[in-house]
Amino acid sequence: MNALTSIRYEDMKSAEQLRSEVALYERAMDRTARLLETMVKLDFEKRMLALNEAQLDLMEHAVKMILDGLDLSPMQRARVPEVVPRAFEVLEGGKSA
C-alpha cells in the first residue's frame, strides 16, 4: 500500500477504478478485525494465562520431584532458593549464570 502513488486508476474505457491492492488491504483489515473480535469473545487472553499458569505448576512440581530425588544435603538444599530462580532467569534471557 505504501508503494502506491494512487489508489485509483482509469481502465481502457476511461472509467475510474479502485486498485485491487486497496480492495485486498481492506479485506485483510476486515478479517483481522473479525479475528480480534473472536479472540475477545473466546476470552483468549484469559485462556492463555490459565495455560501458562498450569505449565508453571507442572514445572514447579517437576523441579521439586527432581530435588527430592537427589537427596540433597541440608547445605545444598539451603542453596536451592538461590540457584533455581537464577537458572530460570537465564532461560528467560535475563542474567547469565
Give, in order, the Cα–Cα distances in Å from 14 to each of 4, 10, 11, 22, 25: 20, 5, 5, 19, 24
The secondary structure of 18-72 as a DSSP string is E-HHHHHHHHHHHHHHHHHHHHHHTTHHHHHHHHHHHHHHHHHHHHHHHHHHTT-
- pTM (2 d.p.): 0.49
pLDDT in tens, the chain (97 residues): 677 777 766 777 777 777 888 888 899 999 999 999 998 888 988 999 999 999 999 999 999 999 999 999 999 999 999 999 998 888 888 666 5
